[in-house]
Amino acid sequence: MSKIPSLTLERNAVDTVPCVTHAKLFQHELLEEPSSASTAEQRRTLSGLTRMAEEICLNCPLMTNCLYAAVVRYDVAGYAAGTTERQRAAMRSKLGWRVTPENLDIFTGRTSGRQVEHDEVIRLRRVNPADSLETIAERLNCSVSTIKRHLRMERRGGTSGVTPRLKLVPPSKEQVITALHEVTGVLGQVRQLRVA
């Protein structure tokens, strides 16, 4: 049974990145994969978790830059910058923009830029079911985030098939905030976000 982790929001006492301070919340399995909430209780739990994480992100001094990076530069896994993976994908679709998980790996220095083969991830998972995701990531010299993404893609039976019309020029921060507004319906707080 999923439980909401005990959490005290400390809006102005940010000694470190808020999502790191509240790692138990941001790494909660339901928040990482909202589609896994199958029972009414899990959905209620997910709703509570999402509200807490959203409040933390919207009050985070890094919010605007974090949102831009998570939408435009790196395909991070899980909940980030007040958005789920699905919401960020919808925002990219609106913006005509696409990023790959490997962008994040290059940024974190986990790979030389070689694309991680989807079939290789699935093969390693099948032949070594007891291995942790960290072990598989180490073998493929990529991030755990990338491994998770390939496994999810496999569970969902492949990509969505939606191919947005792509632009060559990255969207601006204003455009990303507008897309956030359109996709999540978060209104008041987003208007107050400063575009750095």
Answer whether 131's CB lies under 8 Å from 144's CB.
no
Applying CB under 6 A, which of residues 4, 7, 17, 153 lies at the interface with ligand SF4? 17
| Length in residues, the chain | 196
User: Is 18 among the residues that bind ligand SF4 (CB under 6 A)?
Assistant: yes
DSSP β-bridge partners for residue 83: 80
The letter for the amino acid at 143 is: S
User: Is 142 among the residues that bind ligand SF4 (CB under 6 A)?
Assistant: no
Answer whether 151's CB lies under 8 Å from 125's CB.
yes
Q: Which is nearer to ligand SF4, 56 or 95 (CB)?
A: 56
157: left (phi over 0), alpha (psi -120 to 50) or beta: left
- Window of 17-25, 92-100, 125-133, 150-158 that interacts with ligand SF4 by CB under 6 A: 17-25
DSSP β-bridge partners for residue 109: none
Residues binding ligand SF4: number (CB under 6 A): 11
Each residue 47-86 as x (binds ligand SF4 by CB under 6 A) or -, in order, gives ---------xx--x-xx--x-------------xx-----
Residue ranges that bind ligand SF4, judged by CB under 6 A = 17-19, 56-57, 60, 62-63, 66, 80-81
